[in-house]
Structure 1
Amino acid sequence: MSNGADRKISLPTIARVALANFDLYSNEPNACAVIERPVFCLIGANGLGKSTFLNTINFAITGAIPDPGRKFQSAQDYLRNAGRADRSDDYFSGRISEHARPIASVTVDLAWPTATVSVTRDLFGTAGVTRLAIGLASGATDIHEASDDDGGDLSALYRAKVLALSGLEDFAQFVFLMHFVATFDEGRHLLMWDDAALTNALYLAFGADPVAAKAADKLQRDMDRESSRGRNVRFSARHVADRIKQLVDLLKGAETDDHATSAELQTQHDALVARQAEAEQRMRRKQAELRDADLKWTDLSASLTETQLEYRRLFSSRLRQTSSVDHHPIVRATLSEDRCALCGTVHVATRIQAALDKGDCPLCDSVLDRSGADAGAVAQLQRLDREIARIRDGLATILDSRARISDEFAAAQASDEAAAQALREFEEKEAAGLAKVQSGSSFSAIQQEIDKLEKERLEFLAQSEAHYRKRDELRDQLRAYEKALKAQYEAGSERFVPRFRELAEDFIGLPIDVELEHRQGANDSGFGLRMRMDDQLRARPDAVSESQRFFIDIALRMALSEYMADSSATLLIDTPEGSLDIAYEARAGSMFSKFVAKGNRLLMTANLRSSQLVLRLARLQKSAGMQIVRMTDWTDLSEVQQSEEALFTQAYDAIDAALT
């Protein structure tokens, strides 16, 4: 680990993870894991939610869900995208049931050498902090609860506290470190071969201070933006130059000055314009018809529901009012058993039925009211029944109509696109001839258009040059930071590179080395680490096997995290043991143990199978150093997995035996 002289960052350890109403875990929706040992391993079968557990931890800590397609441009841009509330809502929607959405939350307790922070976030509605407990130096705890009007302030308080404890300049830097360096998740993002993300990590690990890292990150982002703007404007200038050339060729007589040809060209163009307009109009008509069909369907569906409810109410009322004696439980029991349900007298069913047929009450001989009320109710029910049938017929008709209109709308869209494409291609091909037609064969008008376009081209070129000058100014400023980082890396590499070699070689079994590569092109900047394996350059990830690149990348994260932290480093790893053969599984377990032996911590997930990685790690760490949590305590196996439950039990037993 780094000593105090060259440290920059103090990273937290994860002390506790508490889920509330997280019903993805059906057996334990309020699961709570207290992280008591250097290695915490959540182990279970595929599809039970191991990866979700790690992503939920990161969500609690950073307010953002790690993005598996995480193309890195800058820390700020990444946080803006990954930290959107709708992104976290979308992620948890497929994992948390509808009734648990308003009450599902996660709490993570973080520990720094000088303080503790407990942060709670609701899983839906906002990515903001809803509860914050800060452990003070005095031993007291300062607790803050969010209300509707101060949730943003609580998130700001949490961010400020994290930055103060971590020694970072910007919360986006903290999110970057958690997602890109401290976490190796199901996205399998490779830091070693992502120069943009690696450059940012190197600034934070080896740079003079986080302020410089933030400034370099901004300069890189601004430089890329100016370079992109310069290219875009220059492209526009080339497009204008092409139009000028067409008009110049027209003035030189390169195009045939034939009145009949010009008239024909205008006719063709007008026909294409009319065809495109007609196609667009038809598409809009079909779109309106489709909306109208949907509206009719909605109205009829609501009408059907209302009519069915009225039918059920009337039917229930009729049963209560006109048929209550016939259907009374005592009467029905007496008739079915031929025994009085009140006194037990037998052979009374005939007399009871005769009284009912006569229209009298079988108990008191009163005349039952079977007047027009019942007949009116029946008539009303018949009317409602006919109305329900009519509405259903209408719905069936609308469905048929909507299917037809939908097909016609799709065809109209295709026709509109084809007509628009035909018009574009004609205008591009006949640009010069159309310009001649539209100018009325006036060469002076064409020359005026050329002069106008030339002025526009020069303006584009001037804008492009301005953007490139600005890019060069930013690049010169960035070079000063890069020069400083290069010197700092050379000094720090005396400790960082040997540690990376030690971890990577423990897994790969071959000599490993890395060297810093500084990119210095006109539009290029930043750094990469070029790896050599057995003295062979491996510049691309596909130059090594899948398992090699995964665990070499994990070794890089371990070495970087260990180097930049002034205390223990914590890594979150969704173990990619599926890519390993049995020999490499054991070596990976040894590599993990070597990382932990330096006082660092691992929070990992693993598949429940005869994994030599977990077994080797368990044998090396024993129960004092490794904590196993079974996912089968939290949630049920699938039907297929249940049929092989004995195999899972054997795997658990083998790991438990290795720990003792």
Structure 2
Amino acid sequence: MDLALDDGAWMILGVNGLGKSTLLLMMRYLLAGAVRLRDAGFAGSRSDLTPVPARFFAMRVQDESRGAQATLTVSFGADTLTVRRDLSTLALIEAIHSGAAGSQTLTTEEAYRTAISGLMNLAQFEDAVRVFDYVTFFPEQRLPLIWNLAAQFELFRGLLTPDKSAELRKREAEIVSADSAARNLNAGIARVTARRAAEAKKAKNADSTKVKLAAAQASYDEAHKGEAPLLEELEGLEEARDDALLQVKRAERDVDDATREYEKLKYDALQAAFAGVPATEQYIFLRLLTDRICLACEQEAHSTAAELARRVSQGRCPVCGNPRHSATTEIPADLRDVAEEAYERLQIRRDHLSRVARSHSDLRASVASVEQRLSKLRSDAEAFSAQIRVLKRQLPLEDAAAMEEEERRLIALREQVEIFRRDRIEAEEGIASLIAGLKEATEQIRVALEDRFNAVAKPFFAERVRLIYAPRESKIGQQGAVFSFPAFEIEMTSGASQGQFVRRHIEQVSLSQREYLDLIFRMALIDVLGGAQGSLAVDGPEGSVDAVFAERAGDLFADFASQPGKSVILASNIVEGGFIPNTLRNYAPRPEKRVINLLEQAVPTAALRDLKTEYLRKVDEIMARSPT
């Protein structure tokens, strides 16, 4: 097969078993080689890439792909990269990079990875694979992006701060490793402490000094034992406090939106009140009312502004204060009603902000209370420790020596814990500025990404859908500092609940919504970060949509692929309805020229051998159908 998949929309048509998915996967594995990404998340020193079976394609056919090769040519701006692999092993045969400086032949996987990462303006090959799996390819297993905040962080890390991506990953690994080591050592301390407690119990009937020492030791261990539940309680309260802060920020944004809406309506109402005043003088009065500053003398004029506002509210002429004689100069009733409704919405959102702010304040107070209790517990433990040291000096030498040895072991373990704690803090200090830089870079594209997503999503969904920027607060290890990671979420109005709520989890939406929200987010990323150039390869886009939304899905892909420099490759079953005609609507009257028909090109399955004539007739009917 020799396919020229240039700009625009392409359909790979077939029935189950003909190789639609295999064709898309072949493109992906030609680019990435025999690797896949580990699951997104903080992974310590583990590699970001894990191998896939080298015989991935060989296992799919009877001859085990012996002698089979595949070649893929991809353009990156003015450059092209042609990669050829052995399909029986996925080994690289050669890759050719052609650009303004000439051609270069690459024969090792390392050289190829360096070349393709550079062409994608990425510092690491792992980040290139993230782009393949989270942006370009949308295969059967559907790796979620908009629903996976960790995957968003890793993708943005590579795309927005490529020069800092490796350092971010390194610091993350240091934090996770130090945190894990400290937790393992604390487990060892717990075992030694338990053993020492058992020895103290045996000495219960010893002389007075041993009894006092056992009591002091038990109190010391009890103090340390009480630290763990307090830390757990503190962590839960901190998480609740951070969630409450996110609600406060969202409520503040809602208040800002409602304030702008009300101020605009208020300004329109004031303009209506000054309808009979020339534009220049009208501007002076409106600025006086809104800014409470006199443009003539540039002094504050609160009382004058208040008087003008009072006249407007009483339906009198704002300039002279006399009753109006003409209805045309009064503020229209519908405008006043809309303004009043906007003011009521503003008050409701202000009340909500006040409630969530109080909740956040209460949680902050709870955190402070637990921190105070924790501090006292640690102070008590230090006091018992001092008492133990005094009592040990009163013990006979042989008893003191045995306990000193146990104490030395505990001290050594605690010192190691402290070393790893300092290592974690040092790594956290190093990563803080890197994450802040990534967050700033994300915020620079925030508006463009939100606007593009919202513009593409609006004609597709029946519900009101919008993308919102909602940084997540999280720790990199199980303990330590909390960082703010850039992330986007979906806000969708549900017709069932008649309310607006943020869908944070993939289980909260239908299969169709889940897939197409993710697809539209990828489209927005291509448009904003790819300069509106790039490819999108989707397996089975028709499977989750009904007859009505199938037409909308076709329009979605057709619109995306209609711009120069963009292509969409869809692997689809032969389905009735408007999905296929609408996707190929820009290629009338010969839409079949944009179709790779596997019914005619692939090795037929048993079902196809029996039903091929009917399938081909159905394809012709679909191709002849006009877009809806």
TM over 0.5, shorter chain: yes
**Alignment partner of 2:549: what SS?**
helix
Query: CA offset at residue 95 of structure 1?
Result: 1.1
The corresponding residue for 1:118 is 82
Other-structure match for 1:538: 503
Deviation at 1:607, TM superposition (A): 1.7
Structure 1: stretches of 5+ with no match in the other structure:
1-30, 145-150, 255-442
Cα deviation, 1:24-51, whole Å, max 9, x if unaligned, reads: xxxxxxx221213412221211232222
Match of 1:648 among 592, 615, 618: 615
1:214 aligned residue: 166
- 2:4 corresponds in structure 1 to 34
* Deviation of 1:220 (Å): 2.3
In the alignment, structure 1 residue 236 sits paired with structure 2 residue 203 = no
Deviation of 1:252 after TM superposition, in Å, equals 2.5
Partner of 2:118: 164
Instruction: Provide the residue aligned with 2:49 in structure 1.
Output: 80
Residues 457, 632 of structure 1: CA spacing in aligned structure 2 closer, same or farther, 3 A cutoff? farther
Tell me the residue number matched to 2:581. Answer: 615
Asked if 1:582 is matched to 2:547, the reply is yes
Partner of 2:201: 249
Q: 1:74 to 1:42 in 2, by over 3 A?
A: farther
1:555-634 equivalence runs, <5 A = 555-566=520-531, 568-599=533-564, 600-610=566-576, 612-622=578-588, 623=590, 627-634=594-601
Paired residues, what number? 424
Q: Using the alignment, how far apart are the partners of 1:449 and 1:616 within structure 2?
A: 84
- 1:63 corresponds to which residue? 33
Greater CA deviation, 546-555 or 116-125? 116-125
CA contact (8 A) 2:34 2:54 kept: no
Q: SS of the residue aligned with 1:579?
A: coil
Where do residues 455-470 of structure 1 align in structure 2 (5 Å cutoff)? 455-470=408-423
User: Conserved in 2, the CA contact under 8 Å of 1:58 and 1:65?
Assistant: no
- Cα deviation, residue 591, structure 1: 1.8
Which residue number in structure 2 is paired with residue 202 of structure 1? 156
Matched, 1:639 2:617: no
User: How far apart are 1:587 and its partner, in Å?
Assistant: 1.8
Please, what is the CA RMSD of the aligned residues? 3.1
Measured after TM superposition, the shift of residue 197 of structure 1 is 1.4
Instruction: Specify the SS of the correspondent of 1:131.
Output: strand
The 3-state SS of whatever aligns with 1:211 is coil
Larger relative contact order, structure 1 or 2 (CA cutoff 8 Å, min sep 6): 1
Q: Secondary structure at the match of 2:619?
A: helix
| Distance change in 2, residues 1:484/1:79 (3 Å) | closer
Residue 184 of structure 1 aligns with an amino acid whose one-letter code is F
1:161-200 CA deviation, whole Å, 9 max, x = no partner? 3233222212221122112222111111111122221102
- SS, match of residue 531 in structure 1: strand
Identical pairs, percent:
21
- C-alpha deviation, 1:583, in angstroms: 1.9
Mapped pair 1:50 → 2:20: yes
One-letter code of the match for 2:49? R
Match of 1:109 among 60, 66, 73: 73
Q: Which residue of 2 aligns with 1:394?
A: none
Code of the residue aligned with 2:465 in structure 1: it is I
1:516-555 correspondence runs (5 A): 516-521=470-475, 522=480, 524-525=482-483, 526-534=485-493, 535-555=500-520
Counterpart of 2:70, as a letter, is V
| 2: CA distance, partners of 1:158 / 1:219 | 27
State the secondary structure of the residue aligned to 2:470. strand
The aligned runs of 1:239-388 (5 Å cut-off) are: 239-252=191-204
Whole-angstrom distance in 2 between the partners of 1:603 and 1:626: 14
Q: Distance in 2 between matches of 1:76 and 1:455?
A: 31
Following superposition, the deviation at residue 498 of structure 1 comes to 0.9
Does 1:188 pair with 2:142?
yes
Shift of 1:556: 1.0
Q: 1:71 to 1:641 in 2, by over 3 A?
A: farther
Match of 1:497 among 445, 450, 458: 450
State the shift of 1:605 in Å: 1.0
Higher mean Cα deviation, 649-658 or 552-561?
A: 649-658
SS in 1 for 2:3: strand
Q: Which amino acid aligns with 1:232?
A: N
Task: Report the CA distance between 1:96 and its aligned residue.
Answer: 3.4
Deviation string for 1:103-129 (max 9, x for gaps)? 12221011122222211111234x542
1:133 aligned onto 2:105 = no
Describe how 1:360-509 pairs up with structure 2 within 5 A: 451-509=404-462
- Of residues 129-138 and 163-172 in structure 1, the stretch that sits farther from structure 2 once superposed is 129-138
- The equivalent residue for 2:371 is none
Between the aligned partners of 1:222 and 1:499, the Cα distance in structure 2 is 37
Residues 571-629 of structure 1: per-residue CA shift (max 9 Å, x gap): 12113432222222222222222222343211221122225432321235545797210
Distance 1:458 1:113, change over 3 A: same
Quote the offset at 1:217 in angstroms: 2.8
- Report the AA paired with residue 582 of structure 2: R
Any unmatched runs of 5+ in structure 2? 207-395, 494-499
Distance 2:46 2:441 in 1: 26
Counterpart Cα distance in 2 of 1:76 and 1:123: 31
- Compute the displacement of 1:133 (Å): 2.6
Name the amino acid aligned to 2:143. Answer: H
Q: 1:250 to 1:32 in 2, by over 3 A?
A: farther
Q: Using the TM superposition, give the Cα deviation of residue 644 of structure 1 relative to its aligned residue in structure 2, in angstroms.
A: 4.2
Alignment check: 8 A CA contact 1:573 1:603 kept: yes
Q: Are the counterparts in 1 of residues 43 and 173 from structure 2 also a CA contact under 8 Å?
A: yes
User: Does the 8 A contact of 2:6 with 2:567 survive in 1?
Assistant: no
Structure-1 separation of matches of 2:570 and 2:399: 71
Deviation of 1:544 after TM superposition, in Å, equals 0.9
- 3-state secondary structure, aligned to 1:41: strand
1:94 to partner: Cα distance: 1.8
